[in-house]
Structure 1
Amino acid sequence: MKPQRLSLIAAAALLGACVLPQKEAPRTQAIDTQQLGLAGAAFSAAPEAWWQSFGDAQLDALIAEALAHNPSLDEALARMRGAQAQSQAAAAGGKPRYALDGSVQRQRLSENYIYPPAASGFNPHGGGTYWFADLGLNLNWDLDFWGRQADLLRQARGEQQAVVLDHEAARLALAGAIAQAYVDLHRAYGLIDIATQSLTQRQTQLQLSQQRLQAGLDNALQLQNAQAQLAQAQVQLQQAQTARELAVHRLAALSGHGADAYAQLKRPQLKLDAALPLPEQLPIDLLAHRPDVLAARARVDAAGAGRDAARAAFYPDVSLKIFAGYQSVGLDQLLQAASAGYGAGPGLHLPLFDSQRLRADYRGATAQLDLVVAQYNQTVLDAVRDVADQLSQVSSLEQQLAQQQNRVQAAQRAQQLAQQRYGAGLGSRLPVLDLQLQTLGAQRELLDSSCQLITSRVSLLLMLGGSFHSDTQQAAVSGTPRS
């Protein structure tokens, strides 16, 4: 058979064996952020240490220590370093690879191979035992004609950006969790004060009921009621003390400490009117300030690059290989000029009869893209809903707080009037005690409302991205991330 005909048959066989990518478009589309109703004024990120506006040095120290030593942040930082290593490995895949290779071995040469035996009169190596040595510099460069290496690099960098943003989200969530736990500790101390006063009033009320019963002015029903109210006051005090202990435990754990830190946490000295920068409507640039949304978007870009790389895998890989070095039979001749050798040429890798694996990889990459797009869409919708809910919650709590303040003032005025009537001999002491207890109850609800408002404002600040800036993650991707 003629060589030309053999070449045509071989070419036809190669083309028939080649695998072509199937037409499989993604089924999920990213949500159109222009249709989310974000029409409020642009939001300016909070200051870097926004919690300092509460004016409590102990809170500042707790958050600073937590950001430096919390195990959850250490885990996020380890993931970030791993993503950076993967990105560097992907970048190295598109560059020439150099290697200095050398070997030495003792070998007996066959008399029936490429080396003739001594009896043949030619180079008398066959049948002998010799040292073989080679030393050379090798270069291997994959020529990325179809962009597969570039796609893999884009995928690795997208994953790295997502992990960096996860780290920023973890920092933000940790600072917010400590601030909210600190507010809980403040509330617990306030409840202990109120419960202690209530317990004192209930004890006094019980004593008066006993005296009135002995004097025949009351019956046993009033005494039993006073005893029940005293028991309830004791329960409320115990509950407040337990809430304080739990808040202390939570703060110690968040700051990276154990039971050794419990006794060191003192009563908070919070400024309840701390000014936190918060909008009144959904800001138009909400999504740009949320690290979780940006991380989800980065994973969409990474998945898209992975799908492109899976498609490029269907095409041939072309590489350039170069060798230059020394080869010799016998160690004494290895570095002589006559032992030098070199070579260069292209290499070709053509995927043949591999349709099942390549198509499965491509379908898997497309499914992964659909998955991360769906996750991105859900993250965006959750972000808009959460901020809208929290804006409504803050507005409602502000109104409730104003009403609670009015209630406390009214209860205090009523208590003063009852005290004046008792001082003038126009009434008994029991109404005064009842009004004092009502005032304490109003103060308890006012404390709850004020702490809920602070917690909701902190939550809203976190949902708006806190002090996160988009250039922070860019610096972390290109340089050393902050710990």
Structure 2
Amino acid sequence: MLVLILSGCSFSDLKPESEPMKISGISAALSSAQMKISPAAWPTQDWWQRYQDPQLDSLVKEAIADSPTLRSAAARVHQASALEAIEGAQLLPNITTDTSVTRERFSSNGTTPAPVKGTWQNVHQSTFNVGYELDFWGKNRSAVEAAIGRRRALELDEQAAALILSSSIVQAYISLQNTYDQIDLAQTLLNQQEQIEELTRKRFAAELGTEIDIKQSQASLPTSRANIAALKEQIDLDKNKLASLLGKGPDRGRNISRPHMLLSDEVMIPTLIPAELIGHRPDVVAQRWRVEASGHEMNVAKARFYPNVNLTAFIGMQSLAFDTFDDHSSRILGATPAFSLPIFEGGQLRGNLDAQDAAYDLAVEQYNRTVVDALRDIADQLSSLRWLKERLAQQSEAVATAQAAADLVNRRYAAGLATYLQVLSTQNSTLEQRRQQVDLQSRAFSLQANLSRALGGGYLPELPTTASQTSPADKS
């Protein structure tokens, strides 16, 4: 008993140092976001459907079904399930059967009596064997719990990969729509420039302008056409990116038509974001499971300090002659209790436990870092959405003012009261303001998608109950 006590106390000074952080609120970000708060505002599972574009919906579903990244994640889950089954087998008895025929010469000077000694004989033997480890200290149970935690963490990694993939497709799709909108804007400008060029020719014919005005009006046309060509190149690149995200070749991108996404007029945010975040972000929940698994692995390391008790037993038949093999007198049986206790192992057990303590600290700090990053991610999207609303309002006013100025200058130019340089200046100003407006509208799509991603993309797994109560470090 004294040996057991000493063995159990030999690691009492080894404990992890880190603790999972308690998620405190981001009430300041919520209160300053100036958005509607709703208890039902968590993203849905298919959160991208809010943009009401059937093509986008089909692209995301295709990517999730065919992505090599997700298939790799699924393979890792499968592997973890197999490892979990291996650990679970340690909780059950080990049952085997052995049958053998051995040709053996028995020693003339050994323990074998005459007439067998010094002769060659065939030894026929068949046994039924049972082995079982008495898991008094919970070593095997903790190993199984650790394997379960690792497997669940990988399942959540698969969900996180699906969230990242769907978010990447949505963002690439938003970029594609923005490029099409920029082409529309550039084409409108080119049409206006062609009209101005025609008007300049008429003014020259009426001796109201000079040849310099004609050359200036013509000079802007190649630049606008080159800009349109550059935008069309960007469309091809955007489609290639989407095809890659789908796990397909570039030809798949050629079949993607122009996006028709609709922007929601208002954005609502859920209540109790800090408290419920751990149930909606797969990366956060995955890290919690890793903390749980690391805590169980720490318990395995502790159990190695205690005695190991194994029971083995066998029953069977053994005979030198085959014709007496099934005789009742040929039966053999035995039972072996085995007891082992580490007394001196050069600090190996302490080193192993110390390493597991450090692994637990690392898992906890990675969880804490994930929580901090998740909260910052949400706060960033809320802040950007808040100020984007004001920027869009101001930009709409800037576009209206620039367009009004351009219309006025065009009318004066047609009447011979303004120069072409004034027309060119107002055209460039209006184009720049409209470009900024299109970019801001695209950013609104992007921020809404980022907020859905930051809130977990609609995934709501079952939380580990033990992680929310006490840490494994407190159970020692």
TM-score normalised over the length of structure 2: 0.85
Q: How far did 1:402 drift?
A: 2.2
Matched residues in 1 for 2:215 and 2:298: separation?
A: 76
Matched residues in 1 for 2:440 and 2:395: separation?
A: 8
**Preserved contact between residue 29 and residue 383 of structure 2 (Cα < 8 Å):** no
- 3-state SS of the aligned residue for 1:98? strand
One-letter code of the match for 1:25?
K
Q: How far did 1:55 drift?
A: 1.9
Matched residues in 2 for 1:255 and 1:383: separation?
A: 26
The verdict on how the C-alpha distance between 1:15 and 1:189 changes in structure 2, with shifts beyond 3 A counting, is closer
Where do 5+ consecutive residues of structure 1 fail to align?
1-10, 118-123, 475-483
**Preserved contact between residue 7 and residue 306 of structure 2 (Cα < 8 Å):** no
Matched residues in 2 for 1:39 and 1:378: separation?
A: 19
One-letter code of the match for 2:359?
Q
Matched residues in 2 for 1:290 and 1:253: separation?
A: 26
Q: Residue 65 in 1 paired to residue 62 in 2?
A: yes
The verdict on how the C-alpha distance between 1:439 and 1:335 changes in structure 2, with shifts beyond 3 A counting, is farther
Q: Quick one: percent identity of the two aligned structures?
A: 33
Matched residues in 2 for 1:164 and 1:50: separation?
A: 20
The one of 455, 460, 471 aligned to 1:464: 455
Q: Which residue of 1 aligns with 2:440?
A: 449
**Preserved contact between residue 38 and residue 284 of structure 1 (Cα < 8 Å):** no
The verdict on how the C-alpha distance between 1:48 and 1:331 changes in structure 2, with shifts beyond 3 A counting, is same
The verdict on how the C-alpha distance between 1:225 and 1:127 changes in structure 2, with shifts beyond 3 A counting, is farther
Q: Which residue of 2 aligns with 1:91?
A: 88
Question: 5 Å matches for 1:97-136?
Answer: 97-117=94-114, 124-136=115-127
Matched residues in 1 for 2:410 and 2:211: separation?
A: 25
- 3-state SS of the aligned residue for 1:278? strand
One-letter code of the match for 1:55?
Q
Matched residues in 2 for 1:165 and 1:302: separation?
A: 14
Q: Residue 140 in 1 paired to residue 137 in 2?
A: no
One-letter code of the match for 1:59?
L
The verdict on how the C-alpha distance between 1:130 and 1:239 changes in structure 2, with shifts beyond 3 A counting, is same
The verdict on how the C-alpha distance between 1:348 and 1:441 changes in structure 2, with shifts beyond 3 A counting, is same
The one of 13, 18, 33 aligned to 2:23: 33
Q: Which residue of 2 aligns with 1:350?
A: 341
Matched residues in 2 for 1:292 and 1:299: separation?
A: 11
**Preserved contact between residue 43 and residue 283 of structure 1 (Cα < 8 Å):** no
Deviating more after overlay: 405-414 vs 161-170: 405-414
The verdict on how the C-alpha distance between 1:13 and 1:447 changes in structure 2, with shifts beyond 3 A counting, is closer
Question: 5 Å matches for 1:79-228?
Answer: 79-117=76-114, 124-202=115-193, 217=209
Q: Residue 24 in 1 paired to residue 1 in 2?
A: no
The verdict on how the C-alpha distance between 1:14 and 1:409 changes in structure 2, with shifts beyond 3 A counting, is closer
Give a deviation string over 1:400-430, Cα, whole Å, max 9, x none.
222222333334444455556667x474694
- How many pairs does the alignment contain? 456
Deviating more after overlay: 271-280 vs 362-371: 271-280
The verdict on how the C-alpha distance between 1:368 and 1:12 changes in structure 2, with shifts beyond 3 A counting, is closer
The verdict on how the C-alpha distance between 1:106 and 1:276 changes in structure 2, with shifts beyond 3 A counting, is farther
**Preserved contact between residue 25 and residue 274 of structure 2 (Cα < 8 Å):** no
The verdict on how the C-alpha distance between 1:282 and 1:24 changes in structure 2, with shifts beyond 3 A counting, is same
Q: Which residue of 1 aligns with 2:395?
A: 404
Matched residues in 1 for 2:290 and 2:438: separation?
A: 43
One-letter code of the match for 2:261?
L
The verdict on how the C-alpha distance between 1:406 and 1:333 changes in structure 2, with shifts beyond 3 A counting, is farther
Q: Residue 376 in 1 paired to residue 376 in 2?
A: no
- 3-state SS of the aligned residue for 2:338? strand
Deviating more after overlay: 159-168 vs 51-60: 51-60
Give a deviation string over 1:163-222, Cα, whole Å, max 9, x none.
1111111111111111111111111111122223334444555677788789694586x7
The verdict on how the C-alpha distance between 1:69 and 1:318 changes in structure 2, with shifts beyond 3 A counting, is same
Matched residues in 2 for 1:272 and 1:39: separation?
A: 23
Q: Which residue of 1 aligns with 2:276?
A: 285
**Preserved contact between residue 26 and residue 274 of structure 2 (Cα < 8 Å):** no
One-letter code of the match for 2:400?
Q
Matched residues in 1 for 2:28 and 2:401: separation?
A: 41
**Preserved contact between residue 299 and residue 372 of structure 1 (Cα < 8 Å):** yes
Give a deviation string over 1:30-84, Cα, whole Å, max 9, x none.
2222466589665643222222222222111111111111011011111111111
Deviating more after overlay: 404-413 vs 345-354: 404-413
Q: Residue 299 in 1 paired to residue 290 in 2?
A: yes
**Preserved contact between residue 279 and residue 462 of structure 2 (Cα < 8 Å):** no
Q: How far did 1:360 drift?
A: 1.5
One-letter code of the match for 1:448?
D
- 3-state SS of the aligned residue for 1:323? strand
Matched residues in 1 for 2:388 and 2:5: separation?
A: 72
**Preserved contact between residue 19 and residue 351 of structure 1 (Cα < 8 Å):** no
Question: 5 Å matches for 1:245-324?
Answer: 245-273=236-264, 278-279=269-270, 282=273, 284-324=275-315
**Preserved contact between residue 140 and residue 319 of structure 1 (Cα < 8 Å):** yes
- 3-state SS of the aligned residue for 1:133? strand
- 3-state SS of the aligned residue for 1:460? helix
Give a deviation string over 1:138-173, Cα, whole Å, max 9, x none.
111111111111111121111111111111111111
- 3-state SS of the aligned residue for 1:471? coil
Q: How far did 1:239 drift?
A: 3.1
**Preserved contact between residue 139 and residue 303 of structure 2 (Cα < 8 Å):** yes
- Cα root mean square deviation, aligned: 3.3
One-letter code of the match for 1:299?
R
**Preserved contact between residue 174 and residue 442 of structure 2 (Cα < 8 Å):** yes
Deviating more after overlay: 279-288 vs 254-263: 279-288
Deviating more after overlay: 382-391 vs 400-409: 400-409
Matched residues in 2 for 1:138 and 1:227: separation?
A: 96
Matched residues in 2 for 1:12 and 1:469: separation?
A: 50
One-letter code of the match for 2:13?
K
The verdict on how the C-alpha distance between 1:206 and 1:334 changes in structure 2, with shifts beyond 3 A counting, is farther
